[in-house]
Structure 1
Amino acid sequence: MTDAPIGRVSADTMTPLVFIHDAAIDDFIATLLIESMPQFDLKGVIIANADCVPEPGIEVASRVNQFMGRPDLPLGLSKARGWNPFPWPYRGDCIRLGAIPILAPFTSNVPTPPPSGDDLLADMLQAAIDTGTPLTILLTTGFTPLTDVLAARPELAQGVGQIVWMGGALDVKGNLDPSTIPAEVANKHAEWNVFWDPFAADEALARFGEVAVFPLDITDTAAVTKELMATLQAQGAEHSFSQFAYEAYDLVSEEPFYDMWNVTSTVWLDAPELYSAPRQTPLQVVQWGFEQGWLQPAPPEADRPSHNLYLSFADQPGFYDYVTTRLARSA
């Protein structure tokens, strides 16, 4: 049984959106891109304690909000706890991001302890119900921040509109690295946003239909290329958003495995024509054993809703052009 979302907004109305992420470098470029999308109204940002260190993560999020001219954008820290913690070397990227020169003028205005991301999400979902306007959820971390809130208040599921999620790996290898976690759990199929909390991922995919899923199959083809970096650097002389993206990606541009994971799912919101038609299939997640976190098609007898898996670009050069064009702006 799936939760049916409430009615869609009309074409001439901005769509409310919440961005739930874990303060990875790519998440903040995605945030700048959302700000360039006139049809979306970014209502709030929620940070999950996953691929980050939570306090530096939410503090850099506050500084990015100020940088892009949104100092009052609601910001909260989820109470969600994952099952398999991200490696510390990955989580430290948010600290390095906080040291890039373009953010130097900005100071975090997040109190201690940070505002509750759970309360923020609950308030936005209740507003969606009260106004009859569904809330689009862009999720580039595990599903736990959403499933935890709905476990406490199941009625809020009626406020959920489109869910867009970066996670999983279907026809390609996962990204668990045995050099960063014990080989005994580093299976070849799991992707980190699923592996972090496979139980929440399985629960959400069983509950909600037509989730737009962007697995490693497509993000593996969205590398931080030298051409992208050169364009951002050139544009950075006149456009602060490009300079931010250049300085941020420069921290990881020499890492061969670093891709535009979260930007890939974000761009789809505004430019779905750049993506090949999705594969439509129900999904399930292996929850126990060595293959924990393996996202895979569910058998018919599982009686699960179908989801839209975006596995490739229809126009890969157009994807890169979209990113650089949208970032050719200043706060």
Structure 2
Amino acid sequence: MKMIIDTDPGIDDALAIALAHALPEIELLGLTTVFGNTFVHQSSRNARYILDLLGADLPVAEGAALPWGATTYQPSANVHGTEGLGDLLDIPQIGQNAHESAAAFLVRNAAAHPGALVVCAIGPLTNIADAIKLDPHFATNVKQLVIMGGAYDIPGNITPEAEANIFHDIAAANAVFAAGFDLVMVGLNATHQTLLTADDFAQMAQASAVGQFIDEISHYYLRFYESVGKHDGCAMHDSTAVLACVYPERFTFIETGLFVDEKGATIADPSRPVCKVAMDVEGGWAVDLAKATIFDFGR
């Protein structure tokens, strides 16, 4: 499976990138970066740092710095840390970004691999919407777009109605939901069924430098979850979307068109193109597979 991950690393993004790189079913072609958990320049630096740690010589194409129509943006440092990777503050600048925008990178690779490229978007959907603007054939060239985002008929995680990735660019999300992708939405309905505990991260740390890195950055993330009253661990949001690309049979879906209202709620809209919404996942399986994949990394 040829894949590009559109990302805003981000603690849970780091685990998702490591998982995608390690899974033998995935051929990772590169990363595109977007604002979200961090400012976009931090997203790109973190993406290059993570790829270097993984020993993955892959391009990073920087994308949108702001939501559509916005003039400012402020990341949620209380969730991911001021630099995006928890307590790590001195993150080195390794390598350079690719010499094309994220939208151009996405469009070029989709055209080069028509019907074969899976895009896994685990940040705000601005780069995906920009790619639609750049090439009207982008949505049909892509084999499948799998997004981590949305909360379907359940409460959000940034406001009572909205999931964060969707909320950060409502206009872009609506453009994506209207574009006609073969689209899978892996939102809070599914991701809240996966739970990584401090013990899970400690087990990863026993495996390799990659596992130690993931454990180290998890401490900040777990403290955030505890600060909002969730003391039993953190949801495996972005990695669940990666797993949905490869193992859809482990998920239960409904099919519906989607619209994002002014509050950021993802709601059914039968007038829009039908997409799949993940309602359930085998949560224990997902966590065990992620742990085993990271534990075996480099062995």
**Same fold, judged at TM 0.5 (above):** yes
Aligned to 1:293: 264
Decide whether aligned partners of structure 1 residues 279 and 272 sit closer, same or farther in structure 2, where only a CA change above 3 A counts.
same
Counting only pairs closer than 5 Å after superposition, residues 58-207 of structure 1 correspond to structure 2 as: 58-70=44-56, 72-79=57-64, 81-83=66-68, 85-90=73-78, 93=81, 95=83, 97=85, 100=88, 107-110=93-96, 116-129=101-114, 133-176=115-158, 186=159, 188-207=160-179
Aligned to 2:28: 42
Q: Mean Cα displacement is larger for which, 250-259 or 23-32?
A: 250-259
Deviations 1:203-241 (A, max 9, x none): 211222541111112222323323323322xxx234233
Answer yes or no: is the 8 Å Cα contact 2:163–2:265 preserved in 1.
yes
Counting only pairs closer than 5 Å after superposition, residues 12-23 of structure 1 correspond to structure 2 as: 15-23=1-9
Instruction: Give the AA of the match of 2:289.
Output: Y
1:221 and 1:238 map into 2 onto residues whose CA distance is 25
Decide whether aligned partners of structure 1 residues 107 and 329 sit closer, same or farther in structure 2, where only a CA change above 3 A counts.
farther
Q: TM-score, normalised by structure 2?
A: 0.86
Aligned to 2:275: 307
1:126 and 1:209 map into 2 onto residues whose CA distance is 14
1:94 and 1:120 map into 2 onto residues whose CA distance is 28
* Identity percentage of aligned residues: 22
Decide whether aligned partners of structure 1 residues 43 and 328 sit closer, same or farther in structure 2, where only a CA change above 3 A counts.
same
Answer yes or no: is the 8 Å Cα contact 2:80–2:221 preserved in 1.
no
How far residue 53 of structure 1 moved from its aligned partner, in angstroms, is 2.0
1:24 and 1:90 map into 2 onto residues whose CA distance is 12
Q: What secondary structure sits across from 2:28 in the alignment?
A: strand
Moved over 6 A (4+): none
> Which of residues 53, 57, 60 in structure 1 aligns to 2:39?
53
Answer yes or no: is the 8 Å Cα contact 2:122–2:148 preserved in 1.
yes
Task: Say how many residue pairs are matched.
Answer: 288
Instruction: Give the AA of the match of 1:294.
Output: A
Structure 2 unmatched ranges of 5 or more: 229-233
Structure 1 unmatched ranges of 5 or more: 1-14, 177-185
CA RMSD of aligned residues (A): 2.6
Answer yes or no: is the 8 Å Cα contact 1:19–1:44 preserved in 2.
yes
1:241 and 1:92 map into 2 onto residues whose CA distance is 18
How far residue 249 of structure 1 moved from its aligned partner, in angstroms, is 1.2
1:252 and 1:99 map into 2 onto residues whose CA distance is 9
How far residue 259 of structure 1 moved from its aligned partner, in angstroms, is 2.4
Please tell me whether residue 274 in structure 1 is matched to residue 250 in structure 2: yes
How far residue 107 of structure 1 moved from its aligned partner, in angstroms, is 4.7
Instruction: Give the AA of the match of 1:202.
Output: N
Q: TM-score, normalised by structure 1?
A: 0.78
Decide whether aligned partners of structure 1 residues 170 and 327 sit closer, same or farther in structure 2, where only a CA change above 3 A counts.
same
Larger Rg: 1
Q: What secondary structure sits across from 2:280 in the alignment?
A: coil
Answer yes or no: is the 8 Å Cα contact 1:240–1:330 preserved in 2.
no
Answer yes or no: is the 8 Å Cα contact 1:20–1:46 preserved in 2.
yes
Decide whether aligned partners of structure 1 residues 124 and 297 sit closer, same or farther in structure 2, where only a CA change above 3 A counts.
same
1:173 and 1:239 map into 2 onto residues whose CA distance is 37
Please tell me whether residue 324 in structure 1 is matched to residue 295 in structure 2: no
1:114 and 1:253 map into 2 onto residues whose CA distance is 36
